[in-house]
Structure 1
Amino acid sequence: MGDQVINNCEKTLPSVREEATVKSVACIEVPVEDMQRAVDFYVFQLGFYINTAKNRFPIEPDNTEVFIYPASGAEIMLVKTDGEERLAFTHKGKPNHVLILEISEDILKCHSRLIEAGIRISPIKDSGGCGKSFDVLDPDGNLIKLWFGYPS
């Protein structure tokens, strides 16, 4: 007898979105060490905006959570951590992203602008049918992929 394995293929998948338990991603929490430095990066380098009705502004040294927003999609909550936790995991021996952001501006222009600002980034990678992207390290070492979207 012992442990039994459930054959997941016998389960019926939800057929429409209304049947799904999770309807959307509401918020993604990003660990940061220095809140002002993180806000400056995400707002002034990546173009997020701050909802001043939800956040104390200007950013004060005791702010431990700041909500920032892209043009569309889930909000991001920058969370001041007690330790050195970062967004990333290893896959096939290489660091991988937890946060993938779709960019709206020309990828070459964005890449050049971030290099000029002294941001740590990788070369642009062309993944064919999956589009072009490059990696960015935020000031706290969180690994982010900036993706230009699927080719048309």
Structure 2
Amino acid sequence: MFQGIKRVSVAQQLASLRCDWPEGQGQLTKQGLTWLVALRPTSLSRTYVIRLTYASPNTWPQVHVVSPSLRELAGDRTIPHLYCQRTIRLCLFTPWLREWQPHQRLSRTLVPWAKTWLYYFEDWLTTNEWQGGGLHPNPTQTIKASQKSWQYLK
């Protein structure tokens, strides 16, 4: 528990995702939760399929874009605001600032945040400027954070 607030179990997270995003599909395995859902940031946007993975309340959830390829859309440009360029892991929150915590529902945080991230990504494709704010991850930067939070960024 975090300051008396109960963490949401992985099974509860899946139930919440099914309730709030019924068009998505997910499953629980020994490795945790995997959730796929199609998101369309605006009515003029393309549709993106994201994969959300979450092993346990002791780990950070991760969100990747499955399709279309953000790398192909970006061309030769480096995509801003990612934890990892190689795996295209979206930077949706700053772990060491506790912007997301295990008592929060993924369906009401990470999925809407991913939709917002995609909105700013589409804007960046056109303007070449990231307007979404936030801290851009820098693995060489020295920070005061728990080892677990920093390991997530690698």
Structure number with the higher strand fraction is 1
TM-score, scaled to structure 1: 0.30
Larger Rg: 1
